[in-house]
Structure 1
């Protein structure tokens, strides 16, 4: 089982589409982002509710409404997204096994349980380093890497796809009202 859920991956990918102003995508509906990536719409809607509660995205109103970043991509860390979607959780849950050695009987000696367990200490260090690494990288960093990797026509293709979806929604809404 992963410590960081697949939901974080989906959320980050969606946020990347909203974090590259050069591509021209500033807002999109969770439905369109879900369909763009082949993710269930209801699932992604729940993720965007969490991202909204955490102040990472804000909802926009109207027929073309959806979500946009609540602040610049450079000010949103990967850790912010992980915490918003998965919540803050410890990497390791120490069970203090060291005091349960059969040799100790009912009462372990003080030396056996003194201080932080050496295994727990290693896990705390790993958690600290992981948290620092996730905090160090922003959505802007990830977007830059993605833009550098993708062919130049990809961004405009996404913008065109999302614009088409948005105009279809406007047309559909106009026909019903």
Structure 2
């Protein structure tokens, strides 16, 4: 499992933009930046849509005022779903990225098997990445939503 002080693993994440599908190399995308990355088990799911993502949308300006260059949400969903979810949540200040095959989540060691609900998904977590290195890592206990909230991460910066 990824730990404090470690560099992110090599991986790619997808994004549907106005110009079409983009595949981002994680290490290139986050190079020379301070990034808040949070992951959710699934787009359009209750806690994710009602609390997790909205918290980061509301506090986006405060994160940027504390020197955060990017706020990124990752889920094991496809890029089309992530784009639709971002649009529905007015999350234009955030970058919603798809880990369609769960390879990034697996490389981090942060998967969970939800069985018939959706199979392999991401655990709920938040991390701060400074120039590709993890400087904060808050992983939620199963069925919990406490340490990855936007307010908690913002207070830790």
TM-score in same-fold range (> 0.5): no
Q: State which structure, 1 or 2, has the greater radius of gyration over its C-alpha atoms.
A: 1
Identify, as 1 or 2, the structure richer in strand: 2
Identify, as 1 or 2, the structure richer in helix: 1
